Structure 1
Amino acid sequence: MSVKNGLDADVIVVGGGAMGSAAAWQLAGRGVDVLLIERFEPGHTRGASHGASRIFRLSYPDAPHIALAREARELWRDLEKASGTSLLTVTGGVDHGSPVFLGRLHAGLAEAGVESHWVDAGEAGRRWPGLRVEGRALFHPDSGRLHADRAVAALQAQAARQGSVVLHHTRVVKIEVLGDDAVAVSTEQDSRPLRARRVVVAVGAWTDQLLGGLVPLPRLRVTQEQPAHFQPFEEGQDWPSFGHFAAGLPAYGLATPGEGVKVGLHAAGPRIDPERRDFRPRPELSAALERYVRDWLPGLDPDTAQTVTCTYTSTPDEVFVLDRSGPVVVAAGFSGTGFKFVPAIGRILADLATDGPRPDPLFSLDRSRKGLTAP
């Protein structure tokens, strides 16, 4: 690797999952000299960015999240065109459960000009016989699914095509702030620290380990979650993406072609240390998920669960952090809900690393001191 003006890169991105890869893509597209460093091999399953399916939706009750999802939708399409890879499939989405939350959701979407409409239980049963809905549901036609593995690969490939250097199998062990425009990044593989003007850190479950004490992080909770794929009783049924907001939930699901229908209980897993994760599903959570499928998803066979595991890294208010402290740009706390926003988050991280505009204060490191709360 060449060293220019004493720097190994203008910006070093630590973490080659979805968020870090999107930041490298956006930075490289602006002509920034960027180095992306990932600890593990391409396509690894140790974090939160692997697998075939993630929900895409605009259905949030607040303007900042809706605006970010809208931007992300356009950027997903841009990435598809540039990479020649299909990433976003529109299926429509259904939310049901808490009337209070659904009312807020409908009002927020209407204010933002996003299409959604009510569907009563009878109509829901006719349109989506695999789901059981009580009361009424909110349907939003723009929702769908993203192919996570393809997305990360496409982001990294485009970043490299635009000049980014991408290093896998390279573990960052320390980040030092040397000044307002100077950082040193030490790895297990290099005898000397790598130097850059700025560093973007998007390392998911390892955020506290790498940034604890360096920037004022919120309290982060790392858990191992275990959704599962279930086989439908009837092939060819229409499966929208769905969210179920009720006591003891939320739950979510979406079709994963070739694997069944993915169903999960949101943020239900135990706290873990990512260095000591055993990847073993917890029997009690598997039983709870199978009960949920039996009770609420009559179109799925509850005895066919194929469990997968992933990590969640959550903030206390479940709103993620996109901010900069000195030369350190932080992306953290995506709580299992951030993937839909990935390319827009990459744009924000690139802005933060190059003195561009800052995002909505809702995503700041010190939002609690500013009196900002989650929607």
Structure 2
Amino acid sequence: MQNVSDELFDVIIVGGGVMGSATAYHASKRGLKTLLIEQFDFLHHRGSSHGESRTIRANYSKPYYYPLVMESYTLWQQVQAQIGYNVYFPAHQLDMGHAHDHTLLKILENCSNHGIPHEVLNRCQLAEKFSGRIDFPDDSIGILNEFGGVIKATKAVAMFQTLAHKNGAVLKDNKEITDIKKDERGVVVVSASNNETFRGKKCVVTVGAWMSKLKDERGVVVVSASNNETFRGKKCVVTVGAWMSKLVKKVSGVEIPIKPVEIHVFYWRVKEGHEGDFAIGGDFPTFSSHGGVHVFGTPSLEYPGLVKIVVDSGDKCDPDKREWGPGVRMNELKEWIKESFNGLVDWREPVVKQACMYSMTPDNDYVVDFLGGQFGKDVVVGGGFSGHGFKMAPVIGRILAELAVDGVPSGGTDISPFGIGRFNNSQK
């Protein structure tokens, strides 16, 4: 087994879910010496990145997500081409709800502002479009566009990890991180153009007119594991999902209001003889129902003859002491299925149940920022993806790697809505 405790990495990524794995892929693709650390087994089922599928859609009510998701569509296809198998499966996206629902109106505005081709369907048009497979009340509408799809979740995480390893990244699992701190010895790393490095306790810089161009490389970060093993890196990215608040508060005193929520995913049986009508690759869409109980789902893919239909809510939990409860709002979900699929989906009981966690912020927006304080720009955090982040993993991974190494995301990517400062945090 490779001993990396004495090595100095360009970037250490703490958390091996989809965001950390995508960050490791992007960092290693640039030739950076990269370490990815996971507290449990890689591809474990205790967090937020496992399971069979996630949806991808462009129908956001907040406009700043549109460029991110559109880049993600491109990156998913580019990355899967490198690995040689598919993790992204295209479909149309259908959003449904009352004609005056605020979220639907914002989605319509977003489609118009960004030139997304779409159809607005009333009840009769919807029935005709999908041959009676989907129904909703007379006062509702549907917004249909081509930018939907399904991402194979665990398969996608494995893809990023495999490519990162192929690019030279070091992957370490079953390493619970207990502390992150700046090097107490104040080690300064000086790098030459031939990639040679020199290390010293102090450094005097006298480069005259070139002073402003010289990068400060004093930020050596020490990451400590529960077995007293330590890892050293010039930069660190923290992507620990539902454990973000706990770890960040412990190492810095910063309180980021990210609340873990336990979510239950259900698969329901399609009526015999109609399995193909609900399968991926046909015309059946990924879908969301807004207003009242928020329901979303996908065509059948992972389990033939079963469709995934989920209530987009859950109960707050401690990620280390989960109750693995029976799920919430089941009666409302059953009623929604009964009314929406004209008897073609058995609404009485789900066939398969899975559990995972969301990491929720108060405004449902991400956290992508420098940790600041004693860490300055040496530690970057990515979390609080609030149940809609998985689809963005390729672009978030790019942004996190660029923040750590370059200090800014490329291409003028706007991450201003995702700053820690919006929560008015204070440090100890």
Output the TM-score relative to the length of structure 1.
0.92
The Cα shift of 1:369 comes to 5.7
- Identify the residue that residue 310 of structure 1 maps to in structure 2: 356
Q: What do residues 133-164 of structure 1 show as CA deviations (whole Å, max 9, x unaligned)? A: 23221001121111111110100000000010
- Identify the residue that residue 335 of structure 1 maps to in structure 2: 386
Structure 1 residue runs of 5 or longer lacking an equivalent are 371-375
2 CA distance for matches of 1:56 and 1:166?
27
Aligned to 2:107, the other structure's residue is in SS state: helix
Q: What do residues 61-106 of structure 1 show as CA deviations (whole Å, max 9, x unaligned)? A: 3332000001111110111110011111111010011433212211
The Cα shift of 1:35 comes to 0.3
1:198 correspondence with 2:235: yes
2:162 maps to amino acid: A
The Cα shift of 1:332 comes to 0.8
- Identify the residue that residue 367 of structure 1 maps to in structure 2: 422
2 CA distance for matches of 1:33 and 1:82?
20
The Cα shift of 1:192 comes to 3.7
Instruction: Sort the Cα spacing of 1:231 and 1:118 in 2 relative to 1 into closer, same or farther, 3 A.
Output: same
User: How big is the alpha-carbon RMSD for the aligned residues of Structure 1 and Structure 2?
Assistant: 2.0
1 CA distance for matches of 2:9 and 2:43?
25
The Cα shift of 1:255 comes to 1.9
The Cα shift of 1:272 comes to 0.8
The Cα shift of 1:290 comes to 2.2
Aligned to 1:207, the other structure's residue is in SS state: helix
- Identify the residue that residue 210 of structure 2 maps to in structure 1: none
1:185 correspondence with 2:223: yes
1 CA distance for matches of 2:121 and 2:331?
30
For the pair shown, the structure with the greater C-alpha radius of gyration is 2
- Identify the residue that residue 287 of structure 1 maps to in structure 2: 331
2 CA distance for matches of 1:186 and 1:33?
18
Output aligned runs, 1:104-253, within 5 Å.
104-128=106-130, 129-134=132-137, 135-178=140-183, 181-189=219-227, 191-212=228-249, 214=252, 216-233=254-271, 234-238=274-278, 239-247=284-292, 249-253=293-297
- Identify the residue that residue 297 of structure 1 maps to in structure 2: 341
2 CA distance for matches of 1:115 and 1:232?
30
2:63 maps to amino acid: A
CA contact (8 A) 1:53 1:256 kept: no
1:351 correspondence with 2:402: yes
Identity of aligned residues (%): 29
CA contact (8 A) 1:13 1:200 kept: yes
1:106 maps to amino acid: L
Output the TM-score relative to the length of structure 2.
0.81
| Residue-pair matches, total | 365
2 CA distance for matches of 1:241 and 1:144?
6
1 CA distance for matches of 2:389 and 2:324?
22
CA contact (8 A) 2:62 2:110 kept: yes
Deviates more, 1:28-37 or 1:43-52: 43-52
CA contact (8 A) 2:256 2:423 kept: no
Aligned to 2:276, the other structure's residue is in SS state: coil
The Cα shift of 1:360 comes to 2.2
Q: What do residues 275-313 of structure 1 show as CA deviations (whole Å, max 9, x unaligned)? A: 11132323x533332233223333310124022111011
CA contact (8 A) 1:2 1:8 kept: no
Aligned to 1:345, the other structure's residue is in SS state: helix
Q: What do residues 295-349 of structure 1 show as CA deviations (whole Å, max 9, x unaligned)? A: 3333310124022111011000000111112211111111111111110000000
Instruction: Sort the Cα spacing of 1:21 and 1:146 in 2 relative to 1 into closer, same or farther, 3 A.
Output: same
2 CA distance for matches of 1:215 and 1:237?
53
Instruction: Sort the Cα spacing of 1:369 and 1:114 in 2 relative to 1 into closer, same or farther, 3 A.
Output: farther
The Cα shift of 1:42 comes to 2.7
2 CA distance for matches of 1:45 and 1:196?
28
Aligned to 1:144, the other structure's residue is in SS state: strand
Aligned to 2:406, the other structure's residue is in SS state: coil
- Identify the residue that residue 323 of structure 2 maps to in structure 1: 278
The Cα shift of 1:28 comes to 0.2
The Cα shift of 1:58 comes to 0.9
The Cα shift of 1:26 comes to 0.3
The Cα shift of 1:258 comes to 4.1
Instruction: Sort the Cα spacing of 1:320 and 1:236 in 2 relative to 1 into closer, same or farther, 3 A.
Output: same
2:25 maps to amino acid: W
Output aligned runs, 1:26-175, within 5 Å.
26-98=26-98, 99=100, 100-128=102-130, 129-134=132-137, 135-175=140-180
Q: What do residues 113-140 of structure 1 show as CA deviations (whole Å, max 9, x unaligned)? A: 2222211211212333332223221001
The Cα shift of 1:188 comes to 2.3
2 CA distance for matches of 1:173 and 1:208?
13
Q: What do residues 45-70 of structure 1 show as CA deviations (whole Å, max 9, x unaligned)? A: 11111111111111113332000001
Alignment counterpart, residue 257 of structure 1, candidates 294, 297, 301:
301
Aligned to 2:420, the other structure's residue is in SS state: coil
- Identify the residue that residue 373 of structure 1 maps to in structure 2: none
The Cα shift of 1:368 comes to 4.9
2 CA distance for matches of 1:280 and 1:167?
31
CA contact (8 A) 1:281 1:309 kept: no
CA contact (8 A) 2:39 2:174 kept: yes
1:220 maps to amino acid: I
Deviates more, 1:74-83 or 1:320-329: 320-329
The Cα shift of 1:256 comes to 3.6
1:253 maps to amino acid: G
2 CA distance for matches of 1:188 and 1:8?
20
Deviates more, 1:10-19 or 1:109-118: 109-118
Instruction: Sort the Cα spacing of 1:44 and 1:73 in 2 relative to 1 into closer, same or farther, 3 A.
Output: same
CA contact (8 A) 2:136 2:339 kept: no
